[in-house]
Chains A and B, each alone.
Chain A
Amino acid sequence: DQQVKQNSPSLSVQEGRISILNCDYTNSMFDYFLWYKKYPAEGPTFLISISSIKDKNEDGRFTVFLNKSAKHLSLHIVPSQPGDSAVYFCAASDGNYGQNFVFGPGTRLSVLP
Protein backbone atom coordinates (compact mmCIF):
# COMPACT_ATOMS: atom_id res chain seq x y z
CA ASP A 1 0.00 0.00 0.00
CA GLN A 2 1.53 3.29 -1.11
CA GLN A 3 2.10 5.73 1.71
CA VAL A 4 2.76 8.59 -0.71
CA LYS A 5 0.43 9.00 -3.66
CA GLN A 6 0.54 11.18 -6.72
CA ASN A 7 -2.73 10.44 -8.41
CA SER A 8 -2.04 12.27 -11.65
CA PRO A 9 0.47 10.32 -13.76
CA SER A 10 0.72 13.23 -16.18
CA LEU A 11 -0.14 16.90 -16.54
CA SER A 12 0.04 19.30 -19.50
CA VAL A 13 0.18 23.05 -19.04
CA GLN A 14 0.63 25.98 -21.39
CA GLU A 15 3.84 27.99 -21.05
CA GLY A 16 3.37 30.97 -18.74
CA ARG A 17 0.46 29.42 -16.85
CA ILE A 18 0.49 27.84 -13.40
CA SER A 19 1.36 24.16 -12.91
CA ILE A 20 -0.08 22.49 -9.82
CA LEU A 21 1.21 19.07 -8.86
CA ASN A 22 -0.50 17.22 -6.03
CA CYS A 23 0.65 14.69 -3.48
CA ASP A 24 -1.27 12.85 -0.73
CA TYR A 25 0.14 10.81 2.10
CA THR A 26 -1.33 8.38 4.61
CA ASN A 27 1.24 8.26 7.41
CA SER A 28 0.47 10.94 10.00
CA MET A 29 4.02 10.57 11.35
CA PHE A 30 5.50 12.15 8.22
CA ASP A 31 6.88 15.56 9.14
CA TYR A 32 9.24 16.53 6.35
CA PHE A 33 8.44 16.65 2.66
CA LEU A 34 10.43 17.24 -0.48
CA TRP A 35 9.88 17.63 -4.19
CA TYR A 36 12.34 16.33 -6.74
CA LYS A 37 12.51 16.90 -10.46
CA LYS A 38 13.82 14.24 -12.82
CA TYR A 39 14.82 14.60 -16.45
CA PRO A 40 15.19 11.49 -18.64
CA ALA A 41 18.53 9.68 -18.22
CA GLU A 42 19.40 11.77 -15.14
CA GLY A 43 19.02 11.25 -11.42
CA PRO A 44 16.37 13.23 -9.50
CA THR A 45 17.42 16.69 -8.35
CA PHE A 46 16.13 18.36 -5.22
CA LEU A 47 13.69 21.19 -5.81
CA ILE A 48 12.09 22.38 -2.58
CA SER A 49 11.22 21.10 0.88
CA ILE A 50 8.78 21.87 3.68
CA SER A 51 8.67 20.95 7.32
CA SER A 52 5.40 20.13 9.05
CA ILE A 53 5.73 23.23 11.23
CA LYS A 54 5.07 25.33 8.13
CA ASP A 55 2.22 25.41 5.65
CA LYS A 56 4.03 27.16 2.82
CA ASN A 57 7.55 27.48 1.46
CA GLU A 58 8.64 29.51 -1.55
CA ASP A 59 11.72 29.45 -3.70
CA GLY A 60 11.52 31.61 -6.79
CA ARG A 61 8.89 30.24 -9.16
CA PHE A 62 8.28 27.23 -6.92
CA THR A 63 5.95 27.16 -3.91
CA VAL A 64 5.01 24.14 -1.84
CA PHE A 65 1.84 24.15 0.25
CA LEU A 66 1.18 21.69 3.07
CA ASN A 67 -2.25 20.88 4.49
CA LYS A 68 -1.58 18.56 7.42
CA SER A 69 -5.20 17.95 8.33
CA ALA A 70 -5.87 16.74 4.78
CA LYS A 71 -2.48 14.99 4.52
CA HIS A 72 -1.97 16.80 1.25
CA LEU A 73 0.74 18.87 -0.31
CA SER A 74 1.02 20.61 -3.61
CA LEU A 75 3.76 22.16 -5.72
CA HIS A 76 2.94 25.31 -7.66
CA ILE A 77 5.14 26.46 -10.52
CA VAL A 78 4.47 30.00 -11.71
CA PRO A 79 5.04 30.82 -14.49
CA SER A 80 5.63 27.45 -16.08
CA GLN A 81 8.44 27.19 -18.62
CA PRO A 82 9.21 24.50 -21.22
CA GLY A 83 12.37 23.62 -19.25
CA ASP A 84 10.12 22.57 -16.36
CA SER A 85 8.96 19.57 -18.39
CA ALA A 86 10.09 16.60 -16.30
CA VAL A 87 8.84 13.98 -13.88
CA TYR A 88 8.18 15.36 -10.41
CA PHE A 89 8.41 13.15 -7.34
CA CYS A 90 6.98 13.94 -3.94
CA ALA A 91 8.83 12.38 -0.98
CA ALA A 92 8.06 12.21 2.74
CA SER A 93 9.93 11.28 5.89
CA ASP A 94 9.16 10.94 9.57
CA GLY A 95 11.59 12.40 12.04
CA ASN A 96 12.05 9.26 14.07
CA TYR A 97 12.94 6.98 11.22
CA GLY A 98 15.03 9.82 10.09
CA GLN A 99 17.17 9.12 7.14
CA ASN A 100 14.74 7.50 4.81
CA PHE A 101 12.24 9.08 2.47
CA VAL A 102 9.21 7.41 0.91
CA PHE A 103 8.68 8.49 -2.69
CA GLY A 104 5.48 8.83 -4.67
CA PRO A 105 5.17 7.34 -8.17
CA GLY A 106 5.77 10.68 -9.89
CA THR A 107 3.84 13.04 -12.17
CA ARG A 108 5.09 13.79 -15.67
CA LEU A 109 4.69 17.51 -16.38
CA SER A 110 4.69 18.75 -19.97
CA VAL A 111 4.85 22.51 -20.49
CA LEU A 112 3.72 23.34 -23.99
CA PRO A 113 5.22 26.37 -25.78
Chain B
Amino acid sequence: DVKVTQSSRYLVKRTGEKVFLECVQDMDHENMFWYRQDPGLGLRLIYFSYDVKMKEKGDIPEGYSVSREKKERFSLILESASTNQTSMYLCASSFLPGTGKPLEQYFGPGTRLTVT
Protein backbone atom coordinates (compact mmCIF):
# COMPACT_ATOMS: atom_id res chain seq x y z
CA ASP B 1 0.00 0.00 0.00
CA VAL B 2 1.19 3.45 -0.91
CA LYS B 3 1.75 5.63 2.07
CA VAL B 4 2.11 9.39 2.00
CA THR B 5 2.51 10.97 5.40
CA GLN B 6 2.49 14.60 6.43
CA SER B 7 4.22 15.89 9.53
CA SER B 8 1.19 17.56 11.12
CA ARG B 9 -2.57 17.25 10.82
CA TYR B 10 -3.27 20.62 12.39
CA LEU B 11 -1.01 23.64 12.77
CA VAL B 12 -1.60 27.13 14.15
CA LYS B 13 0.97 29.81 13.41
CA ARG B 14 1.23 33.55 13.81
CA THR B 15 1.56 36.04 10.98
CA GLY B 16 5.19 36.44 9.97
CA GLU B 17 6.36 33.07 11.30
CA LYS B 18 8.32 30.68 9.11
CA VAL B 19 6.40 27.46 8.61
CA PHE B 20 7.68 24.06 7.48
CA LEU B 21 5.38 21.35 6.19
CA GLU B 22 6.98 17.98 5.62
CA CYS B 23 5.84 15.12 3.41
CA VAL B 24 7.26 11.62 3.11
CA GLN B 25 6.29 8.86 0.66
CA ASP B 26 7.37 5.23 0.70
CA MET B 27 6.59 4.14 -2.86
CA ASP B 28 9.78 5.29 -4.59
CA HIS B 29 7.74 7.78 -6.62
CA GLU B 30 9.70 10.26 -8.70
CA ASN B 31 7.06 12.99 -8.58
CA MET B 32 5.96 14.86 -5.48
CA PHE B 33 3.45 17.69 -5.26
CA TRP B 34 2.12 20.31 -2.88
CA TYR B 35 -1.46 21.54 -3.25
CA ARG B 36 -3.70 23.76 -1.25
CA GLN B 37 -7.41 23.12 -1.05
CA ASP B 38 -9.87 25.93 -0.49
CA PRO B 39 -13.70 25.76 -0.61
CA GLY B 40 -15.05 26.24 -4.13
CA LEU B 41 -11.57 26.29 -5.66
CA GLY B 42 -10.62 22.64 -5.54
CA LEU B 43 -6.96 21.67 -5.38
CA ARG B 44 -4.48 24.22 -6.65
CA LEU B 45 -0.90 23.25 -7.34
CA ILE B 46 1.75 25.22 -5.46
CA TYR B 47 4.95 23.39 -6.52
CA PHE B 48 5.99 20.00 -7.75
CA SER B 49 9.24 18.11 -8.05
CA TYR B 50 10.15 15.32 -10.46
CA ASP B 51 13.56 14.52 -8.99
CA VAL B 52 15.83 15.30 -6.07
CA LYS B 53 16.75 18.98 -5.97
CA MET B 54 14.43 19.70 -8.91
CA LYS B 55 11.35 21.87 -8.54
CA GLU B 56 8.77 23.43 -10.78
CA LYS B 57 6.31 26.21 -9.99
CA GLY B 58 2.66 25.36 -10.05
CA ASP B 59 -0.27 27.73 -10.38
CA ILE B 60 0.13 29.60 -7.08
CA PRO B 61 3.81 29.58 -5.97
CA GLU B 62 3.88 33.10 -4.54
CA GLY B 63 4.73 33.15 -0.85
CA TYR B 64 5.96 29.53 -0.87
CA SER B 65 9.19 27.67 -1.47
CA VAL B 66 10.02 23.96 -1.50
CA SER B 67 12.92 21.65 -0.83
CA ARG B 68 13.62 18.14 -2.03
CA GLU B 69 16.91 16.84 -0.70
CA LYS B 70 15.89 13.16 -0.72
CA LYS B 71 13.65 11.27 -3.11
CA GLU B 72 11.12 10.33 -0.46
CA ARG B 73 10.82 13.73 1.20
CA PHE B 74 9.33 17.01 -0.05
CA SER B 75 9.04 20.08 2.15
CA LEU B 76 6.87 23.14 1.73
CA ILE B 77 8.10 26.34 3.33
CA LEU B 78 6.14 29.47 4.08
CA GLU B 79 8.87 32.07 4.57
CA SER B 80 6.60 34.56 6.33
CA ALA B 81 3.13 33.21 6.97
CA SER B 82 0.15 35.42 6.21
CA THR B 83 -3.53 35.03 7.04
CA ASN B 84 -4.39 34.36 3.39
CA GLN B 85 -2.29 31.21 3.61
CA THR B 86 -4.76 29.68 6.03
CA SER B 87 -5.82 26.55 4.16
CA MET B 88 -5.68 22.78 3.87
CA TYR B 89 -2.32 21.68 2.44
CA LEU B 90 -2.11 18.36 0.64
CA CYS B 91 0.99 16.50 -0.43
CA ALA B 92 0.89 13.90 -3.20
CA SER B 93 3.27 11.61 -5.06
CA SER B 94 3.20 9.64 -8.30
CA PHE B 95 5.35 7.83 -10.83
CA LEU B 96 6.76 9.69 -13.81
CA PRO B 97 4.68 9.40 -17.00
CA GLY B 98 6.10 7.36 -19.83
CA THR B 99 7.32 4.59 -17.53
CA GLY B 100 4.28 2.36 -18.05
CA LYS B 101 3.33 2.74 -14.40
CA PRO B 102 0.02 4.14 -13.11
CA LEU B 103 -0.22 7.91 -13.31
CA GLU B 104 -2.57 8.59 -10.47
CA GLN B 105 -1.37 10.65 -7.54
CA TYR B 106 -1.48 9.35 -3.99
CA PHE B 107 -2.30 11.91 -1.36
CA GLY B 108 -1.39 12.39 2.25
CA PRO B 109 -4.06 13.16 4.87
CA GLY B 110 -3.50 16.91 4.69
CA THR B 111 -2.38 19.61 7.10
CA ARG B 112 -4.93 22.15 8.22
CA LEU B 113 -2.90 25.34 8.70
CA THR B 114 -4.36 28.35 10.46
CA VAL B 115 -2.43 31.61 10.43
CA THR B 116 -3.60 34.15 13.02
What is A's interface to B at a CB cutoff of 8 Å?
4, 6, 9, 32, 34, 36, 41-46, 49, 89, 91, 93, 95, 98-106
Does B106 interact with chain A (Cβ within 8 Å)?
yes
> Is B31 part of the contact surface with A, judged by Cβ < 8 Å?
yes
| Contacts between the two chains (Cβ within 8 Å), count | 57
User: Are the C-beta atoms of B103 and A93 separated by less than 8 Å?
Assistant: yes
A46-B105 in contact given A9-B40, A89-B43, A100-B58 (Cβ < 8 Å): yes
Q: Among A6, A34, A98, find the residue whose CB has the most chain B CB atoms closer than 10 A.
A: A98
A32 cross-chain contacts in B, Cβ below 8 A: 103
Closest to A47 in B: B104
Q: What residue of chain B has the Cβ atom nearest to residue A32's Cβ?
A: B103
A41 touches B42 (CB 8 A): no
- In the complex, residue of chain B having the shortest beta-carbon distance to the beta carbon of A106: B42
- List, in ascending order, chain A residues with CB within 8 A of B92's CB: 43
The answer to whether A49 touches B104 (Cβ under 8 A) is yes
| Residues of B in contact, count (CB < 8 Å) | 28
Chain B stretch 65-111: residues in CB contact (< 8 A) with chain A: 90, 92, 94, 96-98, 103-110
Q: Cβ of A89: which chain B residues have Cβ within 8 Å of it?
A: 42-43
CB distance from A112 to the nearest CB of B (A): 22
Known: A6-B42, A89-B43, A100-B33. 5 other contacts (CB 8 A): A49-B103, A98-B96, A99-B97, A104-B42, A105-B42
The 3 closest A-B pairs by CB, nearest first: A43-B107, A105-B42, A103-B43
Interface presence of B19 (CB below 8 A): no
With a CB–CB cut-off of 8 A, which chain A residues contact B42? 4, 6, 89, 103-106
Assembled-state Cα–Cα distance A87/B12 (Å): 25
Smallest CB-CB separation from A95: which chain B residue? B97
Check A45/B107 contact, CB under 8 A, given A99-B31, A100-B58, A105-B42: yes
A22 to chain B, nearest CB (A): 15
Q: Who on chain A is nearest to B94 by CB?
A: A99
